[in-house]
Amino acid sequence: MTFRDVVFAGFLSNVLAGMLFVLFYILIQWFLQATDIKVSYNWSWEGTSYHPNFDIRNYSKSKTYLLSNIAYKKRKTITAPYDNKSIWGKELRPSSIEFLSAAPVPNIASLPQCLEVEIWIRIQSKRMFWLKGQGPGQMHMGRIQRIAFWLRDKFEAAAIPME
C-alpha cells in the first residue's frame, strides 16, 4: 500500500466512525424523547357531568414541558369542542408527577359514551398523546414505543443513583 492509500483508508475509517457516533447519539436522543412523558387517565362524574382526570409523568431529568389543550374525538372526528382552559399552561417539571382534573366534557352524558371517546393531549411543542377510551385510559403506544418504555424501565431499575 502506498502512503496515499494508507492516509485515505485512515480518513475514511475516521469519517465512518464519526458517522456511527452521530447516529448512536441521534438514536439515544430519540429514545429519551419518546419515553420522557407518560399519560394515563380515568373518568369522574358529578351528576350528569363527566370529566377526565389525568396522571401525567415527566421522566425527563432536565426538560420542562407546558401542556396545551385537549381534544375529544370519536373515530378521528371531534365529538366535543377543544378544551383550551383546563390544562393550558400547566407546567410539567422534570421528574414530576401531576394529577390534573379537566373541565366537564360537553356532549357526554353517560359512562358508556366516555369509553368510546379518544382523548388527545397536546403539549406546546405540538407533540400529541393519544389516549384510548377502553377502561382506565392508557396512552396509545405502538410496539416500538412499548419496547422503548420497557427498556427505559429496565435502565432505571439498573441505574446507580448519583445523588
Please indicate, yes or no, whether residues 55 and 44 belong to a single structural domain of this protein. yes
**Integer Cα distance of 121 and 48 in angstroms:** 23
Instruction: Read off the pLDDT of residues 48-104 as tens digits, 9 standing for 90 and up.
Output: 888 888 888 888 888 899 998 888 888 777 777 888 888 888 999 998 998 988 888
Non-local (6+) Cβ contacts of 129 within 8 A are: 37, 39, 120, 121, 122, 123, 139, 140
Please indicate, yes or no, whether residues 49 and 91 belong to a single structural domain of this protein. yes
Please indicate, yes or no, whether residues 55 and 3 belong to a single structural domain of this protein. no
Please indicate, yes or no, whether residues 43 and 24 belong to a single structural domain of this protein. no
Please indicate, yes or no, whether residues 81 and 151 belong to a single structural domain of this protein. yes
Whether residue 102 is contained in a domain is answered as yes
- Find, among 132, 156, 123, 142, the residue nearest to 32 by Cα: 156
Please indicate, yes or no, whether residues 89 and 134 belong to a single structural domain of this protein. yes
Please indicate, yes or no, whether residues 42 and 30 belong to a single structural domain of this protein. no
Please indicate, yes or no, whether residues 18 and 41 belong to a single structural domain of this protein. no
Whether residue 147 is contained in a domain is answered as yes
Q: What is the CATH number of the domain that holds 116?
A: 2.60.40
Whether residue 127 is contained in a domain is answered as yes
Whether residue 163 is contained in a domain is answered as no
**Integer Cα distance of 45 and 43 in angstroms:** 7
Instruction: Read off the pLDDT of residues 24-49 as tens digits, 9 standing for 90 and up.
Output: 999 888 887 778 888 888 888 888 88
Please indicate, yes or no, whether residues 61 and 138 belong to a single structural domain of this protein. yes
> In which region does residue 57 sit, left (phi positive, over 0), alpha (psi from -120 to 50) or beta (all else)?
beta
Please indicate, yes or no, whether residues 7 and 57 belong to a single structural domain of this protein. no
Please indicate, yes or no, whether residues 134 and 88 belong to a single structural domain of this protein. yes
The number of domains in the chain is 2
For position 133, what pLDDT does the model report?
58
Please indicate, yes or no, whether residues 79 and 1 belong to a single structural domain of this protein. no
Instruction: Read off the pLDDT of residues 95-149 as tens digits, 9 standing for 90 and up.
Output: 899 898 888 888 888 888 888 888 888 888 888 877 765 555 566 666 777 788 8
Grid cell, residue 31, equals 429514545
| Domain range for 46 | 37-158
For position 22, what pLDDT does the model report?
95
For position 23, what pLDDT does the model report?
95
